Chain A
Amino acid sequence: MIEEKFDAIVVGAGMSGNAAALTMAKRGMKVLQLERGEYAGSKNVQGAILYADMLEKLIPDFRDDAPLERHLVEQRFWIMDDRSHFGVHYRSEDFNEERPNRYTIIRAQFDKWFSSKVREAGATVLCETTVTELARDANGKVIGVHTDRSDGEIQADVVVLAEGVNGLLGTRARLRERPKPDKVALAVKEMHFLPRETIEAHFNLKGDEGVVVEAAGTISRGMTGMGFIYANKECISIGIGCIVADFQRTGETPYGLLDCFKRHPSVAPLIEGSEVKEYSAHLIPEGGYKAIPQLYGDGWVVVGDAAQLNNAIHREGSNLAMTSGRIAAEAIVQVKSRCQPMTAANLSVYKKMLDDSFVIKDLKKHKDMPMLMHTNSQNFFLTYPQLVSKAMQNYVRVDGTPKAEKEKVTMKSFVNARSWTGLFGDAFRLARAWR
């Protein structure tokens, strides 16, 4: 049992926990961070795109020594049916800038580096330690934690719950609900290794330039979901994720989907000849704004995925995690510097600051999207991709049919599949949810 008392205990050494621990330690607080993995990152899975701006706010010179893979110069969006893809590619030389905006990373390596910065700032980091329970006083105020290393409790003025999407502590202590099957996606992912010249040739890259592909369509078999392919220096991250309730309903298997995605004629050439070195899976919070739980209470705050702060529409999560971790820490530092107790009333400043940030503003903007995608998954992920593919093929194939006739056939196929009211309804709902 650790006898000393801490200013703050941070549970978890992922993106949000590291941001919180670093921010507090830098401001002279006595911080203990607990992580169940052998090292920070050993339990974590991500695509992974790193957004520089949010990390810069924590570690301005991170580019000097962070394990970065490639800076992104190109983004591809694909709509797929079983044999084809229709794509939008955005590539710009502007992204070859002095301080690039987005990078690919390998999470286990990145988290290890991030954790070393937390230690350097003076926090005590204990790995291989699972927190089993929150400690509370007679009034229910959180006063510390219990771990699987000792019988006693470790005390602190405030506990930062940075335990990720499957956070057990917060749900066991009834501070928030367990994620529901329709509010989380399950993603499976593989790491495919290839010589770097091969990767650069497959993706049309030079040097450390990188590209990411986001794909949707029949690959998810009518379930709400997406596939992704990210180019790293010497490997490719490839994965696919769908809403858990959809898996439950359809009985599709996650590895079955991934294998189908890998064998798709548009994908197979990209990973041809590769050696697989890891297979992983992880949940992603998909509930958006409406799923955000109570964010603070007496002696505790919750940050990152544990608080469902994840923008599934834009495929952003780690940056929201880092930002919420930093803001929670700044709020705690504020309360402490005023010598006030860590009560719910005083910690409410965290929510106010978060509401003013892009984190809540972005999630609020898309608050209706998760529901729309979910209730219309057959249309958005099966019917439309097939129709788009047919329309494109009809458009580009030259066979002597007059153009007007071709367009009529295309239009008819859309109306037959969805009816005019269906089409207008979907377009209207999509526009409204996006607004």
Chain B
Amino acid sequence: MNVETSVRVEDKLFYNRYLVDVGRPHVKVRAHTKPSPQLLALLKVCPARCYELNDKGQVEVTVDGCIECGTCRVIGEPTGDIEWSYPRGGYGVLFKFG
């Protein structure tokens, strides 16, 4: 049973409020030619689907919808695949309920 394809994460993120810090992403992917298994895992595990493959088969991150859970940090920082910081104070996701 493949259920994942029926779920549109974009629609879910639409419910949330964000204050995007344009031009200052708080998560960055290290330049690479072939992604490591850790980077590839982020394509699936990121709950906001911030990670995507580009046409060259490299992993890219777009942090606009990031819910700041830290999962990618736990997986990708030890290998040096990503750099993770909190957004500047006040920016990022803003939970009304939490």
**Is A53 located at the chain interface by the 8 A CB criterion?**
no
Nearest-neighbour CB distance to chain B for A327, whole angstroms, equals: 25
Q: How large is the interface on B (under 10, 10 to 19, 20 to 34, 35 or more residues)?
A: 35 or more
Contact present for A256 and B87 (CB under 8 Å): no
In the complex, the answer to whether B89 meets A130 with C-beta atoms within 8 Å is yes
Tell yes or no: A291 within 8 A of B by CB: no
CB nearest to A279 among chain B residues: B12
Q: Tell me whether B64 is interfacial, beta carbon within 8 Å.
A: no
* Interface contact B15-A278, CB-CB below 8 Å: yes
Set of chain B residues within 8 Å of A168, measured between Cβ atoms: 84-86
Q: How far is the CA of A37 from the CA of B95 in the complex (A)?
A: 9
Asked whether any CB of chain B lies closer than 8 Å to the CB of A281, the reply is yes
CB–CB A106/B98 < 8 A: yes
Query: CB distance B98 to A181 under 8 Å?
Result: no
The answer to whether A188 and B97 touch (CB under 8 A), given A168-B86, A277-B15, is no
Supposing A186-B71, A255-B12 touch, asked if A130 and B98 sit within 8 A by C-beta, the answer is: no
Q: Which residues of B lie under 8 Å from residue A38 when comparing CB positions?
A: 19, 90, 94
* Chain A neighbourhood of B4, CB < 8 A: 252-253, 255-256
Majority secondary structure of chain B interface residues (helix, strand, loop or mixed): loop
Most B CB atoms within 10 A — which of A43, A44, A165, A276?
A43
Measured between beta carbons, the chain A residues less than 8 angstroms from B70 are: 165-166, 283
Docked-complex contact A281 and B71, CB < 8 angstroms:
yes
With both beta carbons as reference points, the residue of chain A lying nearest to B96 in the complex is identified as: A108
B97 touching A253, Cβ below 8 Å: no
The A260-283 residues at the B interface (CB cut-off 8 A) are 260, 276-283
Binding site for A on B (CB under 8 A): 3-4, 6-7, 9, 12-13, 15-16, 19, 38, 41, 44-45, 47-49, 67-71, 73-75, 77-78, 84-90, 92-98
Subset of 18 A-B contacts with CB under 8 Å: A36-B86, A36-B90, A42-B95, A43-B95, A127-B89, A128-B90, A148-B89, A166-B69, A168-B86, A178-B73, A190-B12, A244-B71, A254-B47, A277-B96, A278-B15, A278-B98, A280-B67, A283-B74
6 additional contacts, CB 8 Å, given A42-B94, A181-B75, A281-B67?
A: A36-B89, A130-B87, A148-B88, A190-B12, A256-B3, A277-B97
Spell out A's residues near B (CB within 8 Å).
36-38, 41-46, 48, 106-109, 111, 127-130, 147-149, 165-166, 168, 178-181, 184, 186, 188, 190-191, 235, 244, 247-248, 251-256, 259-260, 276-283
